[in-house]
Amino acid sequence: LCVVCGQAKQFLETEVQNSAEDAAVRAALSYDGHSSTDDEQLVLPSRSISNANREKRRLPLSTEICPSVEGDMDLAESDYEDMDQLDEQYTTSVENVEETQLEKKVTEDEVSESTTKESVMENITSIEVHPDDKNEEEMVVKKSQQKKKKKKQNKRTSLTSLPEEIVSNKILRKYWIRRYQLFSKFDEGIKLDEESWFSVTPERVASHIAERCRCDLIVDAFCGAGGSSIQFAFTCSRVIAIDIDPNKIELARHNADVYGVADRIEFVVGDFMTLIPTLRADVIFLSPPWGGPQYKNVDVYDIESIMEPIGGTRLYQACQNVTDNIAYYVPRNINTDQLVMLAGPGGSVEIEQNFLEKRLVAVTAYYGELIHEQA
């Protein structure tokens, strides 16, 4: 993760002129993207502008509620092979949806049994076609072709277990390939809907943010299918997870159950903007809708595009009535000037780029006491 600490941007820009981290910091500020890896930490030297005139809430930052989740979330080569297979299968499936539907009704056992039988038959047939063939090379080629065919058939079988939204929406296929990055326990029954596939916080990013937000009571204002809330349950004593969509709350509850933390989260169906006056929190985590994957269609994302017509500034300011400790998960192409402006005159913000396997996934802006202490 590449971390950039920011004060007022003007201050930052002048200060970094002579700093050793000059190039990297300016690169991060102007967002040229891919200069850092997950492992690098880039922190500006302390030039903290005091927030002292604000009332500070003490956060119990040291108690570990539960060990964090571990798992291999890196993409395997076979995942990319899967993608190719999925491409082929997808074409078939959209061309013949009815056939796919029928296929789905066949039980897994029936499918794998028939696949095995067919494969055996193929072997026999091909040997019979060339009973006297002594050319071993040709036989090897044949066998490898048979293997490929068998593999393809097995893959086709696996199509039957793909979630409906992945089969029917081509755009979601890349997220399926990344499913273990999203949830390491994906195979233990994680469920997502269309919007959640592209908006869930990937697990490693979520657990990193959760560590930084460690506190007694956190509000996850837009919990979606629970990617972030689940990780907050490992670092915070109490989690309130809010979403306006009842189906999301069902998914979040189910997914939290997969991770064994459902009983540590209070799920609330409701409009966060309406609920704010009733809330109390040490920390608020904001991961609002960005307007879908189209957020990438602009060079610089305007913070006011968040939850239009409300806008990202009003959303942030409404939270300040509850707490100054706000973590804001925003698009990687966000206008960083706007994130700095939210801190107000003399205020501070820490802007962090979240990487996964050298891929810049998103940006998180930390405010209030969530900003790392600077030397």
Three-point CA angle 213, 214, 216, nearest 5°: 115
Alpha-carbon dihedral sign for residues 254, 38, 60, 213: negative
65 versus 177: smaller Cβ distance to ligand MGP: 177
Closest among 2, 182, 162 to 83, alpha carbons compared: 162
Among 188, 271, 308, 337, binds ligand SAH (CB under 6 A): 271
364 is a site residue for ligand SAH (CB under 6 A): no
Instruction: Single out the residue of 196, 207, 353, 354 in contact with ligand SAH (rule: CB under 6 A).
Output: 196
The yes or no reply on residue 245 touching ligand SAH (CB under 6 A) is yes
Amino acid identity of 176? Answer: W
Amino acid at 7: Q
Is residue 163 at the binding interface for ligand MGP, with CB under 6 A as the rule?
Answer: no
Q: Is 11 in the site for ligand MGP (CB under 6 A)?
A: no
Minimum distance, C-beta of residue 130 to ligand MGP, in the bound complex (Å): 47
**Half-sphere exposure at residue 152, Cβ-oriented, CA atoms within 13 angstroms:** 12
329 binds ligand MGP (CB under 6 A): yes
CB of 312 to ligand SAH, least distance (A): 13
3-state secondary structure of 310: coil
Smallest separation (angstroms) from ligand SAH to the CB of 343:
23
CA 5 from centroid of its chain's CA atoms: 23
* Least Å from the CB of residue 285 to ligand SAH: 8
Other CB atoms within 10 Å distance of the CB of residue 344: 16
- Contact region for ligand MGP (CB under 6 A) — 129-137, 307-315, 342-350, 358-366? 358-366
Judged by CB, which is closer to ligand MGP: 59, or 223? 223
Residue 314 phi, psi dihedral angles, 5° rounding: -60, -40
**Residue 244's binding partner out of ligand SAH, ligand MGP, none, with CB under 5 to 8 Å set by partner kind:** ligand SAH
Among candidates 331, 305, 322, 146, which has minimal Cα distance to 217? 322
Measure the CA angle with vertex 362, ends 34 and 69; round to 5°. 105
Comparing CB distances to ligand MGP, the nearer of 234 and 290 is: 290
Per-residue binding letters, 268-307, with ligand MGP (x by CB under 6 A): -------------------xxxx-xx-x------------
Query: Phi then psi for 118, rounded to 5 degrees?
Result: -60, -40
Q: Examine residue 199 and tell whether it contacts ligand MGP (CB under 6 A).
A: yes
Instruction: Write phi, then psi, for 100 (nearest 5 degrees).
Output: -60, -40
Query: Which helix (H) or strand (E) is 2 found in, with range?
Result: strand 2-6
Task: Report if residue 6 touches ligand SAH, rule: CB under 6 A.
Answer: no
Size of the site for ligand MGP (CB under 6 A): 16
Rank residues 47 and 185 by Cβ distance to ligand SAH and give the closer one. 185
Token pair for 234: 């490992």
| Interaction pattern, residues 213-232, with ligand SAH; x per rule: CB under 6 A | ---------xxxxxxx----
Helix (H), strand (E) counts: the chain: 16, 8
Identify what 242 binds: ligand MGP, ligand SAH, none; CB under 5 to 8 Å per kind: ligand SAH
Please, what is the minimum distance in Å from the beta carbon of residue 245 to ligand SAH?
4
Residue 359 backbone dihedrals phi, psi, to 5 degrees: -100, 125
Could you say which of ligand SAH, ligand MGP, none residue 295 binds, taking C-beta under 5 to 8 angstroms by partner kind? ligand MGP
Of 28, 48, 55, the closest CA to residue 40 belongs to 28
CB-based contacts of 237: which residues, under 8 Å, 6+ apart?
63, 65, 215, 216, 217
Q: What's the CA gap between 27 and 270, in Å, rounded?
A: 39
CB of 316 vs ligand SAH, minimal distance in Å: 14
Interface residues with ligand SAH (CB under 6 A)?
A: 195-196, 199-201, 222-228, 242-245, 248, 271-273, 287-289
- Interface residues with ligand MGP (CB under 6 A) are 198-202, 287-290, 292-293, 295, 329, 359, 361-362
